[in-house]
Amino acid sequence: MSHLLGVQVSPLQVVQGHSPFRKLVNRFGNELVVAAGKGEPAAVMSNYGFKNVISMDEYASYFDNIDPLAPYKKFMIGQDGHKELRSRENVLSQRVQAAFIVSDPVDWSRDIQVLCDILRTGGLPGKEIGPQPHLYFASDDLDYQTAFPTERLGMGAFRIALESIFNRIHDNPLEYTSFGKPNPFVFKNAEDVLKEIATSHHSSNQGSHNFRTLYMIGDNPKIDIRGARQAGTPWFSILTRTGVFKGKDNHAEFPADLVVDTVEEAVDFILTRESAKQS
């Protein structure tokens, strides 16, 4: 980003859906946890400080016949390069204390099957029913826009599928925490990060920085704009027609403070508005 924008961007300034997982290191840092999703979810969690994290790809590989459809799958699954030397016996005997859905899962059928195994048995697939381990989602977007003309199903859809199946096969309903928008925690976390950045730039205002306005730019009224509205002051919401939202007028159910066509228009508005305040 620094190279593309020509501006130095520090890692602290980049907040992703799974960034709040970092705050759970004190609780699960040394416990066995499973990370699911595309890319290298275990590497992400390891960078956050989790010392005993294993990817869903690797975890499932230790259990014979845990995925009955595996022989029919021609695509490659084991893409997570974060793999430690583990003994099969240690993995099979250790209870999974928590499962983290870091990004959109690739193999829904396998991941739902294995997650149900983990969550029903107290973290020991194939064993007797036990207390449900903790379950965390990085986001809860039902859909999102790609190059395809219509929206694609997101992590929220995966959560709905998992929850529906789990609740049909288990006596107790699925318990989970979603850190994604529109959860107010996401906006509070972003505000805390911005305060930390502002404080580091203005050491004289240590711990006392308050924002008059924070801008939320997003293309999904049900997620982005709804979240900003729920967060309240000092959030100002800007809805763009660059993805999920394509309407001519403002969204009826979750109207934004401003509607524009592009992100560039949103940034121009912010710069003009803030310059006027200072003049």
81 pLDDT above the threshold of 70: no
If one counts every other C-beta atom within 10 angstroms of the C-beta of residue 155, the result is 23
What is the pLDDT averaged over residues 262-278? 94
If one counts every other C-beta atom within 10 angstroms of the C-beta of residue 263, the result is 14
206 pLDDT above the threshold of 80: no
pLDDT in tens, 4-43: 989 999 888 888 999 999 999 999 999 999 999 999 999 9
Low-confidence winner among 43-57, 64-78, 150-164, 257-271 (lowest mean pLDDT): 64-78
Instruction: Grade residue 228 by pLDDT with cuts at 50, 70 and 90.
Output: very high
What pLDDT was estimated at residue 8?
93
E-strand ranges in 89-142 read: 98-101, 134-137
- CA nearest neighbour of 58 among 35, 38, 39, 26: 35
Write the Ramachandran bin of 73: left for phi over 0, alpha for psi from -120 to 50, otherwise beta.
Answer: beta
What pLDDT was estimated at residue 238?
98
pLDDT in tens, 131-142: 999 999 999 989
What pLDDT was estimated at residue 80?
58
